[in-house]
Amino acid sequence: MEVEKFVSQCPYPMLRIGKDGKVIYSNRAAELFLHEWGIKIGEKVPSSIGNTVKRVIFRVNPETIEMKFRKKVYLVSFHPLEGEDQVNAYGFDITSQKKLKEKLRIKERQSDALHKIGRMALRRESLQAFMDESVKLVARTLGVEYSKIMELCPDGNFLLRASEGWEPEFVGKVIVSGSKEYQAGYTIYSKVAVIVRDFKKEKRFSASPFLKEHDIASGISVTIGKIEKPFGVLSVHSKRPKRFTADDTFFLNSVAVLISEVIERRHAEEELRQYKEQLEELVKQRTSELIRINERLTEEIAGRKQVEKALQNNVYFLETFLDAIPSPVFYRNLEGIYQGCNERFAQEMLGLPKEKVIGHSMFEPTFRTIFSHIIFFVFFSHQSQYFNGFLIQI
């Protein structure tokens, strides 16, 4: 009696089913099964369940199957009764576990998608190709029909830059108003993710004419780029009302961050490329200038060498000419510095080599001593006299 009461009040569904497929016993919790099957005790279960019962009895081996009733999922285990053509069926509510498993599966799928987008971001493909692949992956991951990237233009409106589900010819042509009366503009205005479960019930803004033309019922949108200077909006939409989760929002925001980083990096690379080209052009110009200057310097150096050679020839000619004169000859500047002389003046009159005369002052002690002797000799003779063979007159 106590056992029967326990079984009857057990929160888990319990059934006993015969080999013929008729329900022999059902506790209160299992009445949900009978109701869903549309039968009563003594009546046959659905053929698929009846086949399972026969197989378990024939093989004398338990089997387990999943069965869904309304919004709940049960794991039903069939166990043969020894010596009888009957089985006991025990049901366990695994709805929470199934939801958790599905949630983990969704998160795993979203994580894989982010990994793929991250890898695409590292490849050296065009920005347009990256955006095109990203919206395709986003739509497939979130299980929606549409996904798109709208770029915020200087005039405050949006330009369709990449899309999935929309007609390909719309890309680069469709313009959507940036007014906060529509979802894209409201997303920039609100600075947070915007979720629409059903546009028919939405009070904050209206569906844009572009969305209405495609019978869009729900969607979610996030900002791409910095709040103070956004690039645009990433959004997904569906033709059926859809309850987007916090995980969906996180995933879409994460994709938006990756897209933003790629856009910023590509812009930086473009600026760097332009700067490099400008620098190379500047270096080219400066190099040309240096080549021209170097050519002019080379010409000037060659000219100066010719002048120097001519001057050296002139100096050599002058020295040769002076040395050929039989009389002592010298010339000096106003400061008394000897600029040149012949050998007779240096050697025979002064008794010095030319290199110790040229460039020296007549007021140096050596020259003063020599000249004092010459003047003394001439002064005391009171007449023209020869000094070292030269006629000196005072």
pLDDT of residue 388: 43
Backbone angles phi, psi at 348, to 5 degrees: -85, -30
3-state secondary structure of 136: helix
Q: Write the CA distances from 154 to 7, 187, 232, 246, integer angstroms.
A: 72, 17, 11, 32
Tokens read off for 391: 């006629």
pLDDT of residue 154: 93
3-state secondary structure of 371: helix
Name residue 133's beta-bridge partners: none
pLDDT of residue 120: 83
Contact indicator for 93, 72 with CB cutoff of 8 Å: yes
Contact indicator for 136, 164 with CB cutoff of 8 Å: yes
Report angle CA 160, 165, 166 to the nearest 5 degrees: 40
The whole-angstrom separation of Cα 302 and Cα 307 is 9
Helix, strand, coil shares of the chain, percent, nearest 5, are: 50, 20, 25
> What is 102-270's CATH superfamily?
GAF domain (3.30.450.40)
**Domains 2-93 and 102-270 fall in the same CATH topology:** yes
Query: What is residue 42's DSSP assignment?
Result: T
Beta strands 194-196 and 86-93, pairing class: unpaired
Chain segment 178-208, per-residue pLDDT in tens: 999 999 999 999 999 999 999 999 999 999 8
pLDDT of residue 374: 60
pLDDT of residue 394: 37
pLDDT of residue 96: 86
The whole-angstrom separation of Cα 331 and Cα 326 is 16
| pTM of the predicted model over 0.95 | no
Among 82, 81, 84, 92, smallest CA distance to 30 is for: 92
Q: Which CATH class is domain 2-93?
A: alpha beta
What are the extents of the domains in the chain?
2-93, 102-270, 330-392
Tokens read off for 142: 């979130």
Beta carbons within 8 Å of 207's beta carbon, 6+ residues apart: 182, 183, 199, 216
Contact indicator for 178, 152 with CB cutoff of 8 Å: yes
pLDDT of residue 386: 41
pLDDT of residue 153: 93
pLDDT of residue 99: 82
Beta strands 194-196 and 390-392, pairing class: unpaired
pLDDT of residue 235: 95
Tokens read off for 162: 């990449």
Weakly modelled stretches of the chain, pLDDT under 50: 1-3, 6, 376, 378-394
pLDDT of residue 79: 95
Chain segment 30-75, per-residue pLDDT in tens: 998 999 999 999 999 999 999 999 999 999 999 999 998 888 899 9
Cα 233 vs. chain centroid, distance in angstroms?
19
In the chain, the amino acid numbered 275 is Y
pLDDT of residue 168: 85
pLDDT of residue 9: 63
The whole-angstrom separation of Cα 227 and Cα 225 is 6
